[in-house]
Structure formats: structure tokens, C-alpha cells
Amino acid sequence: MTSVAIIGGGPGGYEAALVARQLGADVTLIHSTGLGGSAVLTDCVPSKALIATAGVITAAGSSASLGVRLNGQPPTAANFGVDLRAVNARINALAAAQ
């Protein structure tokens, strides 16, 4: 069996490891942090998750004029918000799924 060592678990290294394995190689992937590279860990995925959260909060802020109510009351900053720990957990789960 052919053995392949790949240094770097970013998009290129990750994909190379998958292809090498599909072709029957014994693969070792060497990377100092989580797989996926900065796009998954610190750039695209986290920023898109935060943008989505901000979009929901922005929409909720103007939802009272559309008749939206929370427990019979118009949505206000006092009765809704963002759980940043939950947002971060979602980002980590998305990164781990890559």
C-alpha cells in the first residue's frame, strides 16, 4: 500500500487526503489545529454565522410593526437577545462537521 503524508489540513490538504484515501493510500494528515483551515475555523464560517444571527436580531427589532408579539408583548431588547455561547457552539459544531 502507498503511504502519503500531507502537511496542512486546510482546504487543499484536506481534499488531497480524501482523494489519496479514496485511491487506496494510507494517509497521514499533519496539522497543528483543527481541519478545514482558516476559512472554516476563523474566517468564512464564523463570520457567516454571526451575520445570520445579526440578521435575525435586526429583523426581530423591526418586527413589532409587523404585528409580531412575544408572550403578548412587542419584541424589545428587554425580552430578546443573543446567547453568544450558543452562537459559538454552533460555529464550533459547523467547523467540526467539515
> Are both 47 and 16 inside the same structural domain?
no
Per-residue model confidence as pLDDT tens for the chain (98 residues): 899 999 988 888 888 999 999 999 999 999 887 676 677 667 777 888 889 998 888 888 788 888 888 888 888 777 778 899 999 898 888 777 76
**Residue 16's domain spans which residues?**
1-36
Q: What is the model's pTM?
A: 0.57
First to last CA, the chain: 27
Looking at the structure, tell me whether residues 79 and 95 fall in a common domain. Answer: yes
Instruction: Report the number of distinct structural domains present in the chain.
Output: 2
Tell me, yes or no, whether 53 and 92 share the same domain. yes
Residues 48 and 80 in one domain: yes
At 23 the pLDDT is 96
